[in-house]
Amino acid sequence: MKPSSPISFTSSSLAPSLPRKHRLSPYLFTLLIFIFFVSVLYGEDFMCIFGQLEPTFSLRPSQATEKNKKPQKLAFAIGKTEENCDVFSGKWVRDEVSRPPYEEWECPYIQPQLTCQEHGRPDKDYQFWRWQPNHCDLPSFNATLMLETLRGKRMMYVGDSLNRGMFVSMICLLHRIIPEDQKFIKTTGSLTVFTAKEYNVTIEFYWAPFLLESNSDDAIVHRISDRVVRKGSINKHGRHWKGADIIVFNTYLWWMTGLKMNILQGSFDDKEKVIAEVSTEDAYRMGMKSMLRWVKNNMDRKKTRVFFTSMSPTHAKGIDWGGEPGQNCYNQTTLIEDPNYWGSDCRKSIMKVLGEVFGRSKTPITLLNITQMSNYRRDAHTSIYKKQWSPLTAEQLENPTSYADCVHWCLPGLQDTWNELLFAKLFYP
């Protein structure tokens, strides 16, 4: 069949005849009026129906607009991380040139719970590993830049003993360039303050293992098996954090008492206490939301920065990495090489809670995702090479795995890398 001639839209072809006027059908007009009134009356219901059809991870219009906004420059930033660079995804590389960043003996601030060499660890292999991101390099830690940036400011670590280890690591990374008569450290109750007088800087640690008020808040005597957290009580501790310019939060291990958590509805001073038992995930979600609200209400996003350190893994079950039953971090001197390794102690349900809460929040908090990289480091724990606060029994001495500490980390060691990641995200977000 011969195709019909194409229609020409040149001015000459249109000139001979004027377009005819088309009248709107009265039926069509009535239908349009009807649709208009229905959309006005029931528009919200239609939106709800269509909203339910959206994919789980789709962006609603308001979210898309937020994403397309020009990102606001973060406080303390002096540059940007390379494009497509995830500093938390990478591998450990043996490095006997730049590691360790300091020696154990030259940093007097390390607690005896973390001085593995002093307490007889025979090897130093755990000190010679450097984190190498897959598609970029970590900026070198610059103590002078850190202290000059912090001049006249407060930097604070808030959380449990793992965050205290990170706090001590930061002091060890900085203290060598501070004159001896210009630095001192003091502990009062839950607060430990390191002062660099020459820079008018304080680097602080505040003990609050749940961030919220709990029956484990005593910085010295806190070994309580039946842990209770008070709902909506973050201001009990938060009043001590006000005025900080940089805060690094952590909380995880203390929530892991089982599948349930005890939540106090009233006050610890009440004669009759109302305690609800909720799932660990719901309790943790409550804690994270409380932290985000506190940050939103108390931290100036234009002048301050807030970080949250993800869960620190333990290596208490050798069967997780193919070891023998009953084996743990004791006597482990090599890394786990499986890039997909994930220990059973790191609850993915908790990581999911973190993703949900942080993903929905507009509060600017930088997540330091140290979990995967630390999962490979079964070799870096203090194990038995630490100060023992109670005399060991004969049975324990015969079986070192029974008292090996597979929670905390030797210094220098892994937690120096955590602070290098903090440094990278602070200055090159």
Active site residues: 161, 405, 408
Helix (H) or strand (E) segment spanning residue 68: helix 61-68
Percent of the chain that is helix, strand, coil (3-state, to 5): 35, 15, 50
Q: CA dihedral defined by 334, 86, 162, 116, rounded to 10 degrees?
A: 30
Angle 29-33-36 from CA coordinates, rounded to 5°? 140
- Alpha carbon 213 to chain centroid distance? 20
Q: Which two tokens stand for residue 269?
A: 């001073």
Alpha helices (H) in 113-182, listed in sequence order: 143-149, 161-174
Three-state secondary structure of 214-272: ECCCCCCCCCCCCCEEECCCCHHHHCCCCCCCEEEECCCHHHCCCCEEEEECCCCCCCC
What whole-number distance in Å separates Cα of residue 252 and Cα of residue 231? Answer: 16
* Number of residues in the chain: 429
Through-space distance between the first and last CA atoms of the chain, rounded to whole angstroms: 65
Angle 371-374-380 from CA coordinates, rounded to 5°? 150
Contacts of 236 by beta carbon, 8 Å cutoff, 6+ apart: 212, 213, 230
What whole-number distance in Å separates Cα of residue 397 and Cα of residue 384? Answer: 10
Question: Is there a cis peptide before residue 16, judged by omega within 30 degrees of 0?
Answer: no
What type of residue is 204?
Answer: E
- Alpha carbon 27 to chain centroid distance? 62
Query: Do residues 249 and 306 touch, judged by C-beta distance below 8 A?
Result: yes
Backbone angles phi, psi at 33, to 5 degrees: -60, -40
Backbone angles phi, psi at 397, to 5 degrees: -60, -30
CA nearest neighbour of 340 among 324, 326, 320: 320
What whole-number distance in Å separates Cα of residue 351 and Cα of residue 355? Answer: 6
